[in-house]
Chains A and B, each alone.
Chain A
Amino acid sequence: EAGVAQSPRYKIIEKRQSVAFWCNPISGHATLYWYQQILGQGPKLLIQFQNNGVVDDSQLPKDRFSAERLKGVDSTLKIQPAKLEDSAVYLCASSPRGFGGTYEQYFGPGTRLTVT
């Protein structure tokens, strides 16, 4: 079974530029998550999708971050404009379902973003 795919793996941009990350979850997984992991900390949930609908985006800085999951499969996370404090690893995860029970989350390798 193919895992969660993310691209790019690394990205360096200057502050105030924009950047986009792409995630392809495991086939058939209904729930998709985007996490931000700052160096030395645990991952922090940014947004959770159930199919193509948003379940939880309470920690997404909506003035600069946006995410979409068209057709309930692939997802993109965008930052515009980027700030220095956005330097982090952005992790995508998926799970078979996100409701009503407890399920493993499968994580991708992440995209390491450096904002200079």
Chain B
Amino acid sequence: DAKTTQPNSMESNEEEPVHLPCNHSTISGTDYIHWYRQLPSQGPEYVIHGLTSNVNNRMASLAIAEDRKSSTLILHRATLRDAAVYYCILRRLIQGAQKLVFGQGTRLTINP
């Protein structure tokens, strides 16, 4: 399974930007980079995904390195509600079926 490497934990302050890094040196050409987050006592929720180009949505931005071996999830203005575990995942197709393999993720703490 495709492996990603993330810091175990990060801390930031409310209303400041947060940059969550992810390394995926074994990424293949067809792997999409997905980010999910899991708030306490909830199931994971989708944040954003991309293939080669940087992506923006209402929740976050995803910056993908030119060689695709790393990416960064950017929360532009963190709120207390953004405190969660963030998972960087390589989506693979196994016999055509989409498969996500979750790692340990990064636990993000937001200070008021």
B97 to A98, Cβ gap below 8 A? yes
- How many Å lie between the Cα of A78 and that of B94 in the bound state? 25
Task: List the one stretch of A14-22, A61-69, A101-109 in contact with chain B.
Answer: A101-109
Collect the chain A residues with CB atoms within 8 Å of residue B42's CB. Answer: 107, 109-110
Set B91, B99, B105: member contacting A56, Cβ < 8 A? B99
- How many Å lie between the Cα of A96 and that of B105 in the bound state? 25
Give, as a whole number of angstroms, the nearest-CB distance from A4 to chain B: 8
Count of B interface residues, CB-CB < 8 Å:
26
Of chain A, the residue at the smallest CB distance from B87 is: A42
Give, as a whole number of angstroms, the nearest-CB distance from A14 to chain B: 24
B43 beta carbon closer than 8 Å to chain A: yes
A98 to B43, Cβ gap below 8 A? no
Of chain A, the residue at the smallest CB distance from B48 is: A104
Set B41, B46, B99: member contacting A48, Cβ < 8 A? B99
A102 to B98, Cβ gap below 8 A? yes
Collect the chain B residues with CB atoms within 8 Å of residue A56's CB. Answer: 94, 97, 99
A55 beta carbon closer than 8 Å to chain B: yes
- How many Å lie between the Cα of A79 and that of B34 in the bound state? 30
B99 to A95, Cβ gap below 8 A? no
B residues with a Cβ closer than 8 A to A are: 32, 34, 36, 41-46, 49, 85, 87, 91, 93-105
- Top 3 A-B pairs ranked by shortest CB distance? A107-B43, A42-B102, A104-B46
A residues with a Cβ closer than 8 A to B are: 4, 31, 35, 41-45, 48, 50, 55-56, 91, 93, 95, 98-110
